[in-house]
């Protein structure tokens, strides 16, 4: 069994940065955090010099539509997933959910099967699947194809919950799906989020009672908060137990609105996502969605109708933006990108911390918070 020791870094351990620790990795896991008695001592075989960088838990992105020139809907295959995951590793993402936006049942079946095989084959970083739709509201469809929208029957509920070797996150509109169907999904282990919804506060409250656990890209594609009708946004901010995903790109949501969410929600309930599209990690800014060619212009992705069509955001940039705009320090921004999504997805017993026994998913940032190195299960 080979041992790797990471030295001379600023390690985020037990909620604070330490510059006197060495991280010992064996067989893909952290086996010890040891005090480094002499950081200036020469490196020995198997030791890695972190050169004073910030060592964080690897980022977990629960909403990745594409990357590296690949859109998951267009290429629901192991090869497509591997290309997407490889593109995002450059930006510190060590765990992700390939995200299928609303589509027809055969495409859903192929996507779920591809994720199952990718996990089975050990494609680095694949934790499960995010099905964003198709059980959503036409009034808040965004760029989703309304011709795919439907109410799931028993067979389709079984399909949506069929991934048995990874996490399934399912975004739906609670007013469009019977509450008993939400309960059935939760009982089968699906993490249910509300999104692309025109629901009232009361309808969201009923969904939360049935098992809705999170809100997909808060503020976007959901009924807004107003004085007399709190809507989905008001329900999300009012509920102390649910998580909310935010796209911190300065385009999807104004930073002031993100700061409001941070103040309203208990600590640990706001996490970063990218909603990334194929241009992330690719030279070509163009991609095809539902037969329409879309291009990222100045980092903004819109379709011909002007609707936002995902993002060109990566997780490292989201972390930098959180520090710059949201009044949080690097440690908290890192938790928003690692620990908090791990908690949402029930993966925090193995991911989201740099601690003994945890999977060695790690990212090293420099002083400009740019990614310098990434490890998945101890492998760089």
Which run of H or of E encompasses 116?
A: helix 105-120
252 annotated as a binding-site residue? yes
Total count of residues recorded for the chain: 380
State the Cα angle at 33 between 28 and 37, rounded to 5°.
135
How far is it, in rounded angstroms, from Cα 244 to Cα 261? 9
Place of tokens 């692309």: 196
94 annotated as a binding-site residue? no
309 annotated as a binding-site residue? yes
228 annotated as a binding-site residue? yes
Residues 6+ positions from 351 with CB-CB distance below 8 Å? 57, 58, 60, 95, 338, 342, 358, 359, 361
Catalytic residue among 75, 249, 275, 314: 275
Q: Count the helix, strand and coil residues of the chain and give each as a percent rounded to the nearest 5.
A: 25, 30, 45
How far is it, in rounded angstroms, from Cα 312 to Cα 352? 24
- Dihedral sign of CA atoms 65, 66, 71, 72 in order: negative
Nearest to 252, CA basis, from 284, 281, 276: 276
74 annotated as a binding-site residue? no
Query: Angle at which helices 315-325 and 255-264 pack, to 10 degrees?
Result: 80
286 annotated as a binding-site residue? no
Does 275 qualify as catalytic in the annotation? yes
221 annotated as a binding-site residue? yes
22 annotated as a binding-site residue? no
Q: How, if at all, do strands 66-67 and 70-71 pair?
A: antiparallel
250 annotated as a binding-site residue? no
CB-based contact 86:98 (threshold 8 Å): no
What does the radius of gyration of the chain's CA atoms come to, in whole angstroms?
20
Three-state secondary structure call for residue 48? strand
310 annotated as a binding-site residue? yes
How far is it, in rounded angstroms, from Cα 111 to Cα 98? 9
- Count other Cβ atoms within 10 Å, centred on residue 299: 14
196 annotated as a binding-site residue? yes
Residues 6+ positions from 117 with CB-CB distance below 8 Å? 78
Q: How far is CA 179 from CA 134, 139, 192, 373, in A?
A: 16, 20, 12, 45
The annotated binding site is made up of 132, 143, 196, 217, 220-221, 228, 252, 308-310
Active-site positions read 275
The annotated binding site for substrate is made up of 143, 220-221, 228, 252, 308-310
The annotated binding site for Zn(2+) is made up of 132, 196, 217
């Amino acid at each position: 069994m080979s041992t790797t020791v990471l030295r001379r870094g600023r390690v985020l351990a037990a909620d604070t940065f330490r510059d006197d620790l060495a991280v010992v990795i064996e067989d893909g896991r952290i086996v010890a955090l040891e005090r480094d008695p002499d950081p200036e001592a020469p490196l020995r075989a198997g030791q890695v010099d972190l050169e004073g960088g910030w060592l964080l838990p690897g980022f977990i992105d629960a909403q990745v539509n594409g990357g590296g020139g690949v859109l998951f809907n267009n290429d629901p295959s192991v090869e497509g997933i591997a290309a997407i995951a490889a593109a995002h590793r450059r930006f510190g993402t060590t765990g992700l959910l390939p995200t299928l936006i609303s589509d027809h049942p055969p495409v859903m079946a192929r996507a779920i099967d591809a994720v199952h095989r990718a996990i089975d084959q050990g494609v680095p970083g694949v934790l499960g699947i995010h099905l964003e739709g198709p059980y959503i509201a036409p009034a808040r469809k965004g760029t989703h194809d309304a011709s795919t929208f439907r109410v799931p029957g028993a067979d389709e509920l079984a399909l949506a919950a069929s991934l048995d070797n990874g996490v399934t996150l399912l975004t739906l509109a609670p007013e469009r799906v019977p509450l008993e169907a939400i309960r059935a999904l939760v009982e089968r282990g699906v993490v249910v989020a509300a999104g692309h919804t025109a629901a009232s506060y009361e309808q969201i409250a009923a969904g939360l009672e049935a098992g809705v656990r999170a809100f997909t890209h808060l503020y976007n594609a959901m009924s807004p908060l107003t004085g007399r009708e709190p809507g989905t946004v008001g329900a999300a901010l009012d509920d102390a137990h649910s998580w909310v995903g935010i796209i911190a790109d300065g385009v999807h949501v104004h930073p002031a609105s993100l700061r409001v969410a941070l103040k309203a929600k208990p600590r640990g309930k706001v996490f970063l996502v990218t909603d990334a599209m194929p241009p992330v990690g690719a030279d070509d800014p163009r991609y095809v969605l539902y037969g329409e060619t879309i291009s990222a212009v100045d980092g903004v992705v819109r379709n011909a109708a002007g609707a936002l069509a995902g993002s060109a955001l990566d997780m490292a940039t989201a972390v930098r933006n959180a520090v710059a705009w949201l009044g949080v320090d690097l440690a908290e921004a890192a938790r928003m990108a690692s620990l908090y999504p791990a908690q949402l997805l029930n993966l925090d017993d193995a991911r989201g911390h740099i601690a003994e026994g945890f999977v060695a998913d790690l990212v090293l940032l420099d002083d400009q918070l740019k990614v310098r190195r990434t490890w998945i299960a101890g492998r760089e």
